[in-house]
Amino acid sequence: MARFFFHFRSAFFFLIFFLIALLVRLDGAGQGWASVDTRIILILHPMMANFDYSRGLFFRSNFASKKPEQLQAELEKGWKQAKPLIDSLLLKQSKAMDQRASIMLRRDETLSNMRSKNPGATAERAKDFHKLLAEYENRYSGFLASCDTQLDQIGNEIK
């Protein structure tokens, strides 16, 4: 009898402990069992040494040590290196935009010409008209999609 009572008491305490742990877990679902202020971790991290917390921006540690003439020379050197690349990318972008505009103009002209012509009274001619209209729409949407992908690639190169 004493053995049964011992096992019963052990199982009872185990169930009570399990229910309490379950209730605590359900009460703070997703919060975990401890909390850490992430700002402290960020402050102590070596990669955050050049971070201005009041502005929320990184700053350059060697910026103040350089003379203004030296900084101006570095900026001009960087601009001389970047200017040809920027000019070529802007030229590509303007060509792609011109191509996109011409595609849209051709599409509008073609569709307005098709709509202005009377497809006729017969049902067969009307079906052909709608079929041609759908084909032109698909073709021009494909052209526009290719132009948009070119523009996206140029935009990614600029970034």
On whether residue 49 sits in a domain, the answer given is yes
Cα torsion 53, 57, 72, 92 to 10°: value is 180
Q: H/E/C letters for each residue in 52-75?
A: ECCCCEECCCCCCCCCHHHHHHHH
- Is pTM beyond 0.85 here? no
On whether residue 2 sits in a domain, the answer given is no
On whether residue 21 sits in a domain, the answer given is no
Give the contacts of 156 (CB within 8 A, at least 6 positions apart): none
User: How far is it, in rounded angstroms, from Cα 43 to Cα 53?
Assistant: 9
Looking at residue 113, its pLDDT comes to 78
The total number of structural domains in the chain stands at 1
On whether residue 63 sits in a domain, the answer given is yes
Looking at residue 56, its pLDDT comes to 77
Looking at residue 62, its pLDDT comes to 67
For residue 144, the enclosing domain spans 39-158
On whether residue 53 sits in a domain, the answer given is yes
Looking at residue 124, its pLDDT comes to 65
On whether residue 24 sits in a domain, the answer given is no
On whether residue 28 sits in a domain, the answer given is no
Q: What amino acid occupies position 146?
A: S
Low-confidence residues of the chain: pLDDT under 50:
none
DSSP readout, 103-143? HHHHHHHHHHHHHHS---SSHHHHHHHHHHHHHHHHHHHHH
User: How far is it, in rounded angstroms, from Cα 94 to Cα 81?
Assistant: 21
